[in-house]
Structure 1
């Protein structure tokens, strides 16, 4: 009995001293899905930018400006005397609408109503957030946003579908500095 126990113990010790072996995944995925998604997105962006460039080239009545943030815009009403633009934390009141590139209304300014927004402290789609920072109080600007600067792949889960570029006419009604807004709330 002792001999069998010793042989069993010796056998266990010999085979249990094996170093751990890495487990391999059952299936291996390459980066092809990611590469395909990147290519698909590049194609979408190129098509949208080409459509926007066509709009710009056919409209000789306006001076379009290109934003370093990846969208285009023109001034409907421009303030040449003021220099104040919204900064981080400022609260702005603005009115806007959203249309497709071919001019169909998605949301009218009556549906959206003027809203307030604390610059970079609240949710707002990236193009509009960046566009508001370019504006001065009293100005009206029309922005042409590719879908990645608007609602992107997911849309707004209501009227705006996947990968829809939009045009938005925005009027900046008021800019309140952060400290002014806090003082008003404390009084």
Structure 2
């Protein structure tokens, strides 16, 4: 009896130590969804760029600059006496209005109120975060942001719908440098 029990334990040990055979996944994922998503996003960006190009062409009084960050802007008012541009940690006080691509107002500056932003230390939409860094105190800019630079495929779940390109009219009121004392 002891021998049979010992043989059982030895055979169990040998069987459990044998190589495991990996099971193949039941469902194999393909790259089809990703390819379709990429194509959809590229066509969406192209549509938005074309809409902005038409808008820029219609606005012959303004000169728009293509930003390296993927949006366009024009300077409405420039304070030539102030050359300082916002840097990391600076406190910015600004107001803005949001328009759709047809220049219909979505949010007024009164609805939004005056905003305070610490450069690169707070979360705000990507386009505005990059746009504010181009401005000096007292400047007024108009930004043309493609949807992926503002609210993207979610919208703001209030007035801004999904994949909606937006026009921001921004005034930078005050820059408080990081190293300034109160």
Q: TM-score range by the shorter chain?
A: over 0.9
Give 1:64's aligned residue: 64
C-alpha deviation, 1:12, in angstroms: 3.2
What is the TM-score when the length of structure 2 is the normalising length? 0.92
With structure 1 as the length reference, what TM-score do the two structures score?
0.90
Deviation at 1:160, TM superposition (A): 1.1
**Pair 1:91–1:13, CA change in 2 (3 A):** closer
Question: In the alignment, which residue of structure 1 is the partner of 2:96?
Answer: 96
Task: Report the alpha carbon displacement of residue 70 of structure 1 after superposing the two structures with TM.
Answer: 0.4
The answer to which of 142-151 and 74-83 deviates more is: 74-83
**What is the match of residue 81 of structure 2?**
81
Structure 2 match to 1:113: 113
Equivalent residue runs for 1:1-40 within 5 Å: 1=1, 4-5=4-5, 8-9=8-9, 11-40=11-40
The answer to which of 2-11 and 127-136 deviates more is: 2-11
What is the CA RMSD across the aligned residues, in angstroms?
1.6
The answer for the alignment partner of 2:155 in structure 1 is: 155
**Which has the larger displacement, 11-20 or 96-105?**
11-20
SS of the counterpart of 1:76? Answer: strand
Deviation at 1:137? 0.8
Structure 1: gaps of 5 or more residues: none
Question: Would the alpha carbon gap of residues 26 and 83 (structure 1) be closer, same or farther in structure 2, given more than 3 Å must change?
Answer: same
Give the SS at the match of 1:179.
Answer: coil
Name the SS of the counterpart of 1:93 in structure 2.
strand
Equivalenced residues, count: 182
Q: Distance in 1 between matches of 2:25 and 2:112?
A: 50
Query: Whole-Å Cα distance in 2 between the matches of residues 103 and 161 of structure 1?
Result: 15
| Aligned counterparts of 2:179 and 2:10: Cα–Cα separation in 1 | 78
Q: Structure 2 regions of 5+ residues with no counterpart?
A: none
Whole-angstrom distance in 1 between the partners of 2:79 and 2:52: 25
